[in-house]
Amino acid sequence: MNFLVHFIFITAFLLVYVIAIIILKPFRLHRKRPVSTITLKASYLLYLAAFILLAYLVLFFSITSEPTEEATEEKILNVFTVFAILAFFIPNVGIMVRRSVISWRVTYNYLFAGINLLIATGLIYYIAEISWQFK
């Protein structure tokens, strides 16, 4: 039964990723700004892969611990929670709003590509630093 739940979630996450690739068309060249557009889309797909991996690990392999009175762990958890919420919203809003930015689009693409890479790096850091309980 556990294998079936993992399979369903992996399939759902892969479906979300494939749909994102289909919608973004990451390697379709824009005639005026090909490099910045590809950079933005590729960085978004990298961010999305890191976010989906973190979501999967948190769902199935996070250690459930009893509440402790240590303030440092609570502060770290609060920082992680705020970062995860910002990591969910900022890149998604950035990729959706990109078409309404016209005058400084190349700068916008590079700015959000940098933000996406920064957030993806943070997510990968959390994946590497959190102790997971693999069964």
* DSSP label at residue 28: P
Question: Is residue 67's pLDDT more than 60?
Answer: no
Q: Which residues, including other chains, have CB under 8 Å from residue 10's CB and lie 6 or more apart?
A: 56
What confidence tens digit (pLDDT) does each residue in 17-64 have? 999 999 998 888 788 888 999 999 999 999 999 999 999 998 888 876
Mean pLDDT for 100-117 is 93
Between residues 131 and 13, which one has the greater pLDDT? 13
* Mean pLDDT calculated for residue range 81-106: 91
Residues contacting residue 41 through CB under 8 Å, at least 6 positions apart: 24, 25, 26, 95
Mean pLDDT of all residues belonging to the chain: 88
pLDDT at residue 40, rounded to an integer: 93
Structure confidence at residue 2 (pLDDT): 86
pLDDT at 109: 93
pTM of the model: 0.85
